[in-house]
């Protein structure tokens, strides 16, 4: 636009000067001078036009890329169905033990039971009290691999522990114990519960009830004979443990409902 205006101005100036020159025919020197002036100004104007930069053509704006298509969100998988909990497993296993025992010829109405977590591993053990006499103990069942199992039996077909249908337990220390008094002899057996077994810790025995005087009494810690003072220290340690009786808390019906 600027260049076009300059060209028009140059043309107008040339015509004006030419007109002036043509109208002044009486003076040849003046005409010559006017012509020179026109030529000079024309040349100057031409140079000015040449120096004027032609604006660069405006580049067309880059085409805006279309936004990438948004991928559909991945479908959220439904959580897998929760498998039967461990509690369902041990409950079913222990119910089967109770049913089998109830159907056996050994069942009597005075038989009771208990559920105690002897080793604090989260799954209780099933305890079945066989009765209330001196020779009647407690049957212990652990839950393992979907089944109710007993610890290895020592001298019989089934592992039995305790006396008078009870046993002592201290779950926080994974300990069990039983005290039996028979014919003047007192036996205190202490065991630890490890890997679903009852491992011997210590056995304390004395015969004070079978002799007339204490100085005739004999004391043992395991198989070693000890003096009365040492034996009493061992018994004091035993009595300091937080024992609780277990085995007879529930009737068969109550225990079956718990399972």
Nearest to 17 by CA among 3, 29, 31: 31
Q: What local confidence, expressed as pLDDT, does residue 81 receive?
A: 42
pLDDT at 53: 47
Q: What is the pLDDT of residue 128?
A: 95
> Given this model, what pLDDT does residue 108 score?
82
pLDDT, one tens digit per residue, over 153-193 is: 877 677 899 999 999 999 999 999 999 999 999 999 999 99
The pLDDT value given to residue 39: 55
DSSP structure class, residue 163: B
Nearest to 16 by CA among 44, 37, 1, 2: 37
- The answer to whether 220 and 205 are in contact (CB under 8 A) is yes
Q: Which residues of 68-89 are buried (b: 16+ CB within 10 A; e: fewer)?
A: eeeeeeeeeeeeeeeeeeeeeb
Distance CA 224, CA 208 (A): 17
pLDDT (0 to 100) of residue 46: 52
- At residue 62, the pLDDT reads 53
Handedness of CA 88, 89, 92, 95 (dihedral sign): negative
Which residues partner with 129 through β-bridges?
112, 138
- Residue 36 confidence (pLDDT): 60
**What sign has the CA pseudo-torsion 230, 236, 241, 247?**
positive
Residues 6+ apart with CB under 8 A from 182: 134
Helix (H, G, I), strand (E, B) or coil at 173: helix
Residues facing 147 on adjacent strands: 144
pLDDT of residue 158: 78
Q: Which residues of 170-182 are buried (b: 16+ CB within 10 A; e: fewer)?
A: bbeebbbbbbbee
Residue 246 class from Cβ within 10 Å (0-12 exposed, 13-18 middle, 19+ buried)?
buried
Intervals of the chain under pLDDT 70: 1-86, 156, 259
The whole-number pLDDT of residue 43 equals 60
Instruction: Supply the pTM of this predicted model.
Output: 0.65
């Amino acid at each position: 636009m600027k260049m076009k205006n300059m060209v028009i101005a140059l043309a107008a100036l040339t015509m004006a000067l030419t007109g002036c020159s043509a109208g002044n025919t009486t003076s040849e020197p003046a005409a010559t001078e006017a012509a020179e002036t026109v030529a000079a100004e024309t040349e100057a104007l031409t140079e000015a036009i040449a120096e004027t930069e032609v604006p660069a053509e405006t580049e067309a704006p880059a085409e805006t890329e279309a936004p990438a298509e948004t991928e559909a969100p991945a479908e959220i998988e439904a959580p897998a169905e929760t498998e039967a909990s461990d509690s369902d497993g041990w409950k079913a296993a222990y119910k089967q033990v109770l049913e089998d025992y109830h159907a056996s010829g050994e069942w009597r109405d005075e038989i009771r039971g208990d559920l105690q977590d002897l080793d604090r591993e989260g799954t209780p053990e099933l305890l079945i009290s066989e009765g209330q006499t001196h020779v009647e103990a407690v049957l212990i069942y652990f839950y393992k691999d979907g089944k109710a199992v007993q610890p290895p039996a020592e001298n019989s077909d089934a592992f039995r522990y305790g006396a008078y249908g009870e046993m002592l337990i201290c779950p926080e220390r994974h300990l069990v114990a039983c005290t039996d008094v028979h014919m003047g002899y007192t036996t205190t057996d202490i065991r630890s519960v490890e890997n679903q077994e009852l491992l011997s810790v210590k056995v304390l025995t004395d015969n004070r009830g079978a002799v007339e005087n204490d100085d005739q009494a004999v004391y043992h810690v395991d198989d070693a004979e000890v003096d009365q003072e040492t034996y009493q220290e061992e018994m004091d340690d035993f009595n300091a443990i937080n024992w609780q009786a277990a085995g007879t808390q529930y009737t068969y019906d109550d225990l079956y409902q718990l399972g």
